[in-house]
A = this chain, B = another copy of it.
Amino acid sequence: MVLTIVIAESALQLVPRQIQSDSQIKQYAQKRGKRPNEVLLDRAFHHAAMLKLAHRRNGAQIERMGRPDIVHTTLLQILETPLNWEGQLQVIVHTQEERVITVNPKVRLPKNYVRFVGLMEQLLTQHRVPIDGEALMQVEKTDLAETIRNLESDKLVGLSILGEPILLHNLTDQIAKFEKPVVFIGGFPRGHFSEETRRLMDEICCVDRKTLDAWVAAGRFVYDFEWGIGVAQGRIERKN
């Protein structure tokens, strides 16, 4: 049994073309020895440039962009876990630009954010890392719906403050009964899943009164799921 976590509509992308000639972006890229089209968009450094982008696009859309740290912290929280060590976790990162990143469970993610940003820039420009040998991450321009269909999942659940209230323990207990469950966690800083993403889910569940950060929700889900399928118990007995 394998749990798939989809970090959906993630705020992870290269600087969009419209603001590549912005002075803030150019300065930032130069400082890092890269070209403006080779750096990740990051609200912490590109706030002013992003405001300009807001004039050209929907403001609410801009508010959801430029937060690659969400993907980083969430991956850190779920990849180095007993569930993944036992080969029972699959992680997919879907981005707002409709890229789908598949993560090799063996990847040892950089713990340092600056190094992670460098790795993602390499991934988005080269389409895989490392460039040779076994891919640790790969990115494709594809449809999330298509990706999900290929998983042949028997249960698809999204976590959202807009969903039906349920205790997370009860939810993971239910989900642990399926063969190939998928859980969607939002990789964006505010707002909700798009209508398109919501259509992929069998149900939407709310596990706290307040929106949980993606890394908190994902970490708790993985842990509870481990418990639901008996991973924790088995591991600690083998330690004894």
* A residues whose Cβ falls under 8 Å from a Cβ of B: 31, 42-45, 67, 69-70, 73, 76-77, 80-82, 85, 110-115, 165-169, 206-210, 212-213, 215-216, 219-220, 223, 227, 232-233, 235-236, 238-240
Contact (Cβ within 8 A) A233 B80: no
Please indicate the chain B residues that have their CB under 8 angstroms from the CB of A227 in the complex.
Answer: 169
A-B contact pairs, 6 of them (CB 8 A): A80-B213, A82-B208, A82-B210, A206-B239, A209-B238, A219-B219
Please indicate the chain B residues that have their CB under 8 angstroms from the CB of A212 in the complex.
Answer: 80-81
Contact (Cβ within 8 A) A213 B168: no
User: Which chain B residue lies CB-closest to A43?
Assistant: B112
Contact (Cβ within 8 A) B216 A69: no
Contact (Cβ within 8 A) A240 B167: no
Contact (Cβ within 8 A) A77 B216: yes
Please indicate the chain B residues that have their CB under 8 angstroms from the CB of A81 in the complex.
Answer: 212, 216
Bound state CA distance, A235 and B115, in angstroms?
A: 38
Contact (Cβ within 8 A) A77 B165: no
Please indicate the chain B residues that have their CB under 8 angstroms from the CB of A209 in the complex.
Answer: 235-236, 238-239
Choose one: B77, B111, B115, B235; the contact of A208 (CB below 8 Å): B235
